[in-house]
Structure formats: C-alpha cells, structure tokens
Structure 1
C-alpha cells in the first residue's frame, strides 16, 4: 500500500538560484521509545518536472538541476565510517528524471537532521525556469495524499536567505569579502561553496557578490567591473557596514580581471573606500590576467576579433580598438590599479597547471615561475622573496599536448569560448635564460597542456569523485605542488621596454586598416610602409604569426607591470578534470576535487597574522606614466555610467548577428548570448505548447492551425541559429 506524503512542496529555479531544504525529524522522544518501536526510515524524492523533450535543448537552458543530500553533521574533513551517513548527489537531474534517497533512522538520535541542496544548471538565459518538487514519505511507494506530520519539520531557504546568512556581529569590526564570477557563470550558485567556507573561518566576515552581471558577461570587463564597484559602494553606504574595517576581493576566471577593474574604479572615483577599509586580500582563481589570445590557435584569435565573446572577447584577445586605444588589459595594471594593489596585504594567484583548457597557465600564473623549484615536484614550496632570480623564467609559449582528447565540438563552444592552441608533439623542450653573469640552460617541467575539447567535455560530463574521496580525507592527494612568493627581482631581464612593445603591437595591428593615434609617431613612415608591404606580400599566415609574437610581448609587458614593486604569492595546483570549475568548487560534490584549494585559501588568508618579513609599505605608488593617465581617463564615472546605460538600452533579443561584428563606435554588444536567448524564446514556446496540447504540438496539423488562427502575423526572423530546435 502506498504511503502518504509527509511533506510536498513545488518550486521553480531560474539561473543562479538554489533551494536548501533542512529536514528535522523527531520520531521518538527517548531511547526507550526507540527500542520498543523503531521508526521507519524516510524516503526523499526530488523530481525534475520539465518535459522530456527539453533534455535536448541545451543552448536554451540547460533544463537540468543539481541535487545533493547529506546528514547535517557531515564534515568533509572527517572520515565517515557508516555507509548510511555518506552523502549522495546527482550532478545532472534531467527533465523527467527522479532522484531518490533513503533517510535512515537505524541508530537512535533525539533528532535526525539532513540537508538537501537543489541548484539550477541554467547558463544562458534569465527568463527560463525549471520546475521541480520535493516529497518525503515513509516508503518509496508514495501516494499523492499529503498527511500532516508533527514530528517532521522542513525548513526551506532560497538564494537570498543563504547569501544573507549567517548574521554578522555588527558590534565588532567586519571584514567585507567580495566574490566575482567568470564568463557565463554566476556568483549566487557557482560560488556559494566558497562563500560558506569563508563564512566558517574564525573571522567576523561578511561575504557578498554582485548578482546583476548574470548573462551580461560578454559586455566587457569595464562594464562588469564598474557595476561590481558601484555595488560595493552601495553596500558600504548601508548602516550594517558602519564597522567594516577590511575588504578583500576573490575572483574566479573572468572575475579576476573584473575585480581588478573594480578596485581601479573605486580608487579613481571613490578613494574614501580604501581610506576607510584596509585592502587585505586580492585573490584570483584560474583568472586570465594577461588575456587568452596568445595560447589560442589562429582561428580562435579570428573568432575573438570577430566578436565571438562580445566586448569581453576583444579585451581578453588584447585587441586594439578602432579608436586606436590600447588593449584594456595592458592599461589595467597601471595608474590607480597599481596604487591600490600595492596597498593590499596579500596578493595571491591560484593557477591550474593541468586539465584546464579554458585559462592557460601562462595567464593565470602571471607568466613567470621558478622552474628549478617546479622541477622537483616535492610538494608545496614556501620560498622567501628573492630566491635566485636566475632560475625564474617565462612559462613556455607551447606546452606538450595532452593525450586522449574528446571530440565534442559543440561542447567546446560552450566551454567559455577559450580553447588553447595545439602545439607540435615534442618529448621535451629547453628554456634559456640570460643574465649579466651567466647563461643558464635548463630543462623545464613538462606540463601537459589540456586541449579545448577535453575541457569542454569535462564541463558537462565531469569525472565524478569516488565515495572514498568524499568520505575519507586521508585518501585525497596533495594537489598543491608549488607555493612561493615572487618579487620583481625574481623576473628575468626584459628584452624590450613596455613602450617598444606597445609601439610594435600598434604598428602590426594597423594592418587591419585601423587608424592609430600619435603613439606611433616614433616609428618612421618608411619603416612602417616597408613592413606593411613585406607582410602584405607574404600573406595572411605571416601576419598572424607576427600578431602572435606581438601578443606574447604584450603579455610580458602586462605581467611585468603587475610585478612592479609588489609581492605575488603563486599557488600552482594539479586538479583532475574539470579543473577550471573544480578550483572554485562550482558544485559541492561533483567538483569536490577542489576542496583542498578552498581550504588552503581560507586557512592562509582569513584570521591569519601577516609575517614580519612580508610587511608592505603603505605609501602610495606615484605611477604617472602614459598608461596610468590613459586608464584614469577610462575610469571617469560619468563616461562609464553613460556607456553602461547605452549597453543596457538595447534588449538582448534585438542584438541578432551584431555579435559577429565589432566596432567600438557601436555601444551595444551582446555576443552569442543574444542568439541563445532567441533560442530560449523558441524553446519556451515549445514548452508551453507541450504543456497545453502534449505531443499534438509537434504534428503538422497543429502548426497549420496556429498559422490559420493568426494569418496576418509576420514570421519572426529565425536568426543565425533559428533552426537549432
């Protein structure tokens, strides 16, 4: 006989949303009552109520959800011996699927507690939603009758509840922590695990993140960063933050450059922020601080140039604009940014050395590493500043290819549009460093380079951690193999000055027919015309090669500016796929390989004292160079607000095909998300028809009836991918 339901609730998930169900069950008042009549175990059922037909509509959703269930007293860093107390999870609960979990009551407890998380997996659209329900009964054979249960209490917390808990002690100094997400990501769901880990530190912290950039990450770093900065200003004007005395920034992937622009914007327009609050931690996790163009193949560079990832793609591709402006990432480390970055107590970058084909090691590790230390692979290193600068060098341009790549082209497009370039198959390479005293020739560590298809496959089909990994901390390997503080003195001698690099890059970029500004006057007309003529005669291939060389030099200029008069702690990690999402633990259990990284971040940056040898001067850096002055102009609050308003005016649906053309005179630029939203509208109509008439919606007769009912209605343009569904 089917058992009645003790609890039933239906909910809807939009992009970035999460529901947490805290289940409290008290069937027995004493051990004696339990011994007389042991209670039956409960059964939990979570169903994705969307139609089966939506399983294939990935670009419009996806319409899947992530679900996990764990005892409330489960701790990931303590060994779990009892099988019934081990966590269970489903990384992709597709439309029409059901997640079952037994909630055991085999051992007497005064009260049993479980926690269930249900998380949206939608990526591309803010209007779509996923319907699901949660039911609890004493048997897996459930009826639809709901019976009241006084001994069962289910507390439901939504996204805003979770991000406003725990309540801080406002009578004590508050450490404000701002989280920033990456391309096609969100703070609310994708960075919740990191938020709660920081909350559990012994410090009186308040962790916040700006939710307003969801589905707008293609509008540019300037757009995203300024909105984050304005959000921070709004928080600090709230009475709840009157006692805030410290501020930290943690960014994942694109969130690194975004938060860099945010602190520059605050320093230029709201200098009181960093006068009132001590800049404490500036942390990036697998962030493309130097862009992503250099390690990409030629076709990806052309795609970025064409606007495949919107303004953001152009900025990450280190492209000069039609107005002749320098790449934003080249200007970003200078001026106000350098001034405030230097005042942070700690600056740390976490970089994936393996299994991350989205953000290369070169750009996430700020280019320079100690190869003698890396070659030992004996575990984490905590070298002191200034250790033998002769043995530090740039990360090689090409790393050996990884093996056994997946051939999933569509998934590669979904993987943030940031693949890496294929290199020639070589068993080993040599790196030469020159200094004033000696020529050091050394073999560098062979770091296999993950390929774009491999990373794309792991984004949607991630290798899942084993039960042993989840329940036995001793079975987890030490994934941090390099941990060292670097100074400007650790860098090899520069081959060219920053100005020389900028002039050469601007000259080569002029081959696109773009007018350049007076910064190129130092290059003679004859030399310019001769080079253009030579390259034009050799064809497109040579031009792309030279552009690649210029990109490498631009990366070096950016990296040196970040290292100027500052210490950087670089932590290199060896994570299993999907390393790019594992490093931030996007989902609690499916990305559990990143737990040690989050633990390391919290333990080394919150409620810790600063070592005496790392004390930094609080004097402001007077960076008055041309790049700093140009960045200061870009940071004008009035100009940025006007540009942001223009970007917000045109709805995404009307931006069809504009993402394939970039013109810096055009203010609106939505990238492929506009196409995905167009697809989403079509899927939404299909979903409504399915719910109304079922399979009849897919019959030709029904479509003819719909056309007959509204003969005067013009057919909407299909768009670039209108035939996808």
Structure 2
C-alpha cells in the first residue's frame, strides 16, 4: 500500500550562545481510536541560517547539535533497545531527519534537545523542528492526527533557573554550588553536571546550583576582568550588599578548564572586596577544578599555541603563556598563587580542594599544569603522546564517537576512568632540585602546595578528553559520566 507523509506538529524558535531548547513529545493513539494506527514518525530538525554563513566560523559558528532520545531511556538510566540518536553538528541550511518507531502499545514518548553551538558572539540561529506521520495514501482525515500529539517545551531559563534566594524558607542554610565554564565556553558545558547535582539532591532544597552566563562570548577579555564580572554578579545574587546577612551559608566552586582559574581569582576578589569577611560569613566547602591550566599553558600543541601567540584568543591567551618577566611585574598566575595574595588566602579556607586531570587525550591542558606539577604516579601509567597522536586526538574532537550500545556500556560500566586518587599534603611535595633557578611553573605549584592539601584525581578517558571529562554533551561525551559520579560520590554537598 502506498504511503504519504503528513505534518502533525512543528515548532519554530531560535538559540544564541549558551542556549538550549528541550521538547518532550508524546504520541498517544488511544486519544482517538477511530483513526487508522500509525507505526512510525519522521522528525526533521532544520537549521534555518542561510548556507552562506557556514564559513563565518569566528562570528559563530552558526551550528546546532541535536539529540532525540526515548524518554524512558532517560528515566530508567539503563541500556534499552532505543539507543539515543545524536547529531553533533547541523550546519547552516542543513536538516537532520530521523525515523521514530512507535512502540507496540501505540504510545511514543521522546525527548528532543536542540543546542546552540555558537561560541564567539551573541547572534542567534533560527531553527524549525517538524514531526511527520507516515500514513496510508487513501486516508483523508489527516488533520485529526495532530490531536494525538502533546508536548512540553523548556527553554534555557527553565533548565538553569535560579531561585530567588530571599524567598526560600531555608535561606539561612543554603549551600550554593558555583559552576564556571572555560575559554569560549558557556553554561551548556556544565549542563550535565548541573542536572546531575540537582538529581542527586532532588529532595534537598538547600542545594542551589549557580551557573552564570555573564561571560558568554567575553572570555578572551582576560582572567581578571572576567572573574571580577562573575564575582560582582555572584555578590548581587546572594544579597551581599542588600541584606543584613547573605542569603547563603555555604559555597562550593567547580570550574572546568579556564573556569578553574576564573574561580581562583573570584575567590581572591571576594576575599579582598569584602575585607576578608566573605569567607567568615559564608563557609567555603569544596574547590574543584576539571582540566584547568593552573600553571598556565606552556606546552600546548603547535596548532593551539600559534593562534594564542597571534592574539586570536585575546588577553586570556597571552596570560596563559607564562614567560619570565624582564620587569618587576609578575605573571598573573604567579602573583595570585603567592601565599600573601587574596586568592591564596581564600583557597586555604576551603574545607576541600580537588583537581581532576587528564593523563592523556587532552590537547588543551596537559597533565603537568592540570595536576599542579607534582603527582606520585608510576612512569608506565603516564602515556607519552607524539605529534601524530596529538593530531589524531584533535581530529577525534571534530568527529565524536558514534553512540552505539557498546560505547554506552563501556562508558557506564566498563573499566573505570579513575586511575589515581590521592590527597597530597605539603610534606608530600619533594624539595626543589635547583633552589635558585625554579621555572615559573614550579614556583606556582610550590606556592599552592605550601600550606594546603590537594586531592588529585587522575583520569584516563578514551577519545577527546578535555570536554568529555565534564560531559559537555550527555551522550556524545558519555565516557566522562563516571568522572562526574566520582565527584558526586566524594564531595558531599
């Protein structure tokens, strides 16, 4: 029997940097049993940006990523027959079509996510998502099929909504968890971590997750400027200057990549601008970094270091390349690590300090800088990476793994990516070999170890590791999910 496609639902919208649209689409054929049953649907997601903008990388890129997943998969958290379907990039003028099979009970329920991949500007990408039913050619009452569809629509503000702290009943005992993205990143980089924390503490209304968008498209302005902007926004949110007592009692800070350095400076700024009272009134609990260049980025791959030197990463890129100064001015990262600096003083006050570092497959932040130089690791556990491997991993970041059942099983229950988990005391750090000729990297590392402990967690992840460690995209970066689980299991909020 010949068949035809009929459109039974659609939605137009647009996304800018750091924005997401999430739909839950449900088809229930029991609503109208008089209609001939439909067995499969076709979903079509179209990037409405003209094709000419495909080359405008530095003003965009104007791409979208998308996933279509059985809602039951999300609820049950196990490998089902319905493997998530993901498209890491839908380019300008491009469409992604996907066939959906309606289960035998005649009820289909899917969650659709459409995510902006814009990095460098606040421009918007328009899109259209359409749902088609495949029906026999001889059916006339096609308009009735739309009545079978119900949907829910969640915008970015719904997913990252921050409560008004002044209205919370438990405002005297709120633990604020600050999530900070890195260079040319957005709050979407912490989407999975945000929701994982909220799910873990779903019955605890005293945990508030704070992910700010104040540095979207602005991270090249420099660590100091971006950190002050974030800190001022944070102070305003917790009511520091508008109430007798701040609305929170505890704070933890989690930073990915450059976000770890932002948080170091934020902590120092909060210490300084409040004359040391911030961490007296608000108890600092956890300070956590994920693949952060705590010692700068002096050993980058050539294809990353060149654009940094050319200034394509703005002031931030120049700050991360440490050089011995011919003037009296110290590099920023060395100055904030000094034991008398506000950042150093603030960091000593945190109950726990933890860093997660990739030992392999991270082309942006190497082990030495993300682990603060000193790690007690056997030589055979450190994989040496040559230029060919670097290029291979770079290409892997452009071509994410296919979302197969085998990939998900390895990610959820295969060999643990955690290969080293140890608390380092100041006395565990070996004395310097060259007392008067230390590198800037080693000086910074020794400053941070001088009077505080660090929990160092070393991670080995397959494929591109820098963004996978934080699970930037839930299914594409599933190999990092157990790193997030380790964080939640070892850092009680």
The alpha-carbon deviation at position 581 of structure 1 amounts to 0.8
Residue-by-residue CA offset, 1:207-265 (whole Å, 9 max, x unaligned): 12221212221211111111111111011018999652211111111111111000000
Is residue 13 of structure 1 aligned with residue 15 of structure 2?
yes
- For structure 2, list consecutive stretches of 5 or more residues without a partner in the other structure: none
Contact 1:482 1:573 in 2 (8 A): yes
- What CA deviation, in whole Å up to 9, does each residue of 1:377-433 have, x standing for no partner? 6xxxxxxxxxxxxxxxxx9xxx7333744xxxxxxxxxxxxxxxxxxxxxxxxxxxx
1:263 counterpart = 2:267: yes
Give the whole-Å Cα distance in 1 for the aligned partners of 2:415 and 2:456: 20
Residue in 1 that maps onto 2:183:
183
Contact 2:38 2:135 in 1 (8 A): no
**Residue 312 and residue 486 in structure 1: after superposition, are their counterparts in 2 closer, same or farther (change >3 A)?**
same
Deviation string, structure 1 residues 329-384 (Cα, Å, up to 9, x no partner): 00112322222212212111000101111101000001101134x75x6xxxxxxx
CA contact (8 A) 2:239 2:247 kept: no
> Greater share of helix residues, 1 or 2?
1
Is it true that 1:276 corresponds to 2:281 in the alignment?
Answer: yes
The separation in 1 between residues aligned to 2:154 and 2:191, in whole angstroms, is 13
**Partners in 1 of 2:326 and 2:14 — Cα distance?**
44
In structure 1, the residue matched to 2:110 is 114
Aligned to 2:464: 578
The Cα shift of 1:76 comes to 8.7
Tell me if structure 2 keeps the 8 A contact 1:305–1:319: no
CA contact (8 A) 1:260 1:337 kept: yes
Specify the alignment match of 2:168 in structure 1.
170
Native 8 Å contact 1:3 1:139 kept in 2: yes
RMSD: 3.3
Q: How far apart, CA to CA, are the structure 1 residues paired with 2:236 and 2:345?
A: 23
Moved over 6 A (4+): 140-143, 145-148, 165-169, 238-241, 297-303
Structure with higher Rg: it is 1
**Per-residue deviation, 1:486:** 0.7
In the superposition, relative to structure 1, how do residues 25 and 243 fare at CA in structure 2: closer, same or farther (>3 Å)? farther
- Counterpart of 1:434? none
| Aligned with residue 221 of structure 2, among 219, 229, 234 | 219
The aligned residue for residue 639 of structure 1 is none
Deviation at 1:101, TM superposition (A): 3.1
* Contact 1:18–1:117 (8 Å) recurs in 2: yes
Q: Find the partner of 1:133 among 128, 135, 151.
A: 128
In the alignment, structure 1 residue 99 sits paired with structure 2 residue 96: yes
Report if aligned partners of 1:4, 1:147 keep a CA contact under 8 Å in 2.
no
Q: Once the 2 structures are TM-superposed, how far is the Cα of residue 283 of structure 1 from its aligned partner?
A: 0.6
Q: 1:231 to 1:105 in 2, by over 3 A?
A: same
Work out whether residues 291 and 357 of structure 2, in 8 Å CA contact, stay in contact via their aligned partners in 1: yes
| Counterpart residue number, 1:246 | 250
Query: For residue 54 of structure 1, what is the aligned residue in structure 2?
Result: 53
Quick one: distance in 1 between partners of 2:441 and 2:191? 32
The answer to whether the Cα contact below 8 Å between 1:86 and 1:471 also exists between their aligned partners in 2 is: no
Match of 1:232 among 228, 231, 234: 234
Q: Once the 2 structures are TM-superposed, how far is the Cα of residue 495 of structure 1 from its aligned partner?
A: 3.3
Instruction: Report the Cα distance in structure 1 between the residues aligned to 2:44 and 2:309, rounded to whole angstroms.
Output: 48
User: In 2, distance between residues paired with 1:80 and 1:306?
Assistant: 46
Would you say the 8 A contact 2:254–2:260 is kept in 1?
Answer: yes
The 8 Å contact of residues 48 and 93 in structure 2, kept in 1 or not, is answered as yes
| Cα distance in 1, alignment partners of residues 451 and 404 from structure 2 | 45
In 2, Cα distance between the equivalents of 1:146 and 1:350?
A: 54
* Partners of 2:24 and 2:453 in 1: CA distance: 44
Cα deviation digits, residues 573-593 of structure 1 (max 9, x gap) = 111221111011111111221
Structure 1, residues 461-513: CA drift from partner, whole Å, max 9, x if none? 2334433232676653211111111111111112355xx45xxxxxxxxxxxx
Q: Hey, what does 1:385 align to over in structure 2?
A: none
Instruction: Work out the CA distance in 2 between the residues paired with 1:302 and 1:130.
Output: 30
Could you tell me how far apart the structure 1 residues matched to 2:22 and 2:301 are? 43
Mapped to 2, the partners of 1:206 and 1:198 lie a distance apart of 9
Q: How does 1:329-478 map to 2 (within 5 A)?
A: 329-334=333-338, 335-372=341-378, 375=380, 400-402=384-386, 404-405=388-389, 451=390, 453-470=391-408, 475-478=413-416
Aligned partners of 2:211 and 2:162: how far apart in 1? 13
Would you say 1:290 and 2:302 are equivalent positions?
Answer: no
TM (norm. structure 2) is 0.87
Q: TM-score normalized by structure 1?
A: 0.60
- 1:207 corresponds to: 209
Q: In the aligned structure 1, how far is the partner of 2:468 from the partner of 2:31?
A: 43
Compare 480-489 and 157-166 and name the one that shifted more: 157-166
Give, in whole Å, the separation in 2 of the partners of 1:403 and 1:290.
22
Task: List runs of 5+ in structure 1 lacking aligned partners.
Answer: 378-394, 406-450, 502-549, 608-725
1:314 and 2:318 correspond? yes
Residues 37, 298 of structure 1: CA spacing in aligned structure 2 closer, same or farther, 3 A cutoff? Answer: closer
Q: Distance in 2 between matches of 1:86 and 1:300?
A: 35
Deviations 1:306-325 (A, max 9, x none): 64432212221124668631
Are 1:166 and 1:199, in contact at CA under 8 Å, matched by a contact in 2?
Answer: no
1:615-626 aligned within 5 A: none
- Cα–Cα, structure 1 residues 86 and 362, in superposed 2: closer, same or farther, change >3 Å? same
Judged with a 3 Å threshold, the aligned counterparts in structure 2 of structure 1 residues 166 and 465 are, in CA distance, closer, same or farther, namely: farther
Cα deviations by residue, 1:417-469 (Å, 9 ceiling, x for unpaired): xxxxxxxxxxxxxxxxxxxxxxxxxxxxxxxxxx2x34432332233443323
Tell me how far apart the structure 1 counterparts of residues 7 and 424 of structure 2 sit (CA, whole Å).
60
Higher strand share: 2
Measure, in 2, the Cα distance between the counterparts of 1:167 and 1:589: 32
CA–CA separation in structure 2 for the residues paired with 1:220 and 1:253? 14
Distance 1:579 1:14 in 2: 26
Deviations 1:636-656, CA, capped at 9 Å, x for gaps = xxxxxxxxxxxxxxxxxxxxx
Shift of 1:304: 4.8
Distance 1:328 1:347, change over 3 A: same
CA distance in 2, matches of 1:472, 1:560: 38
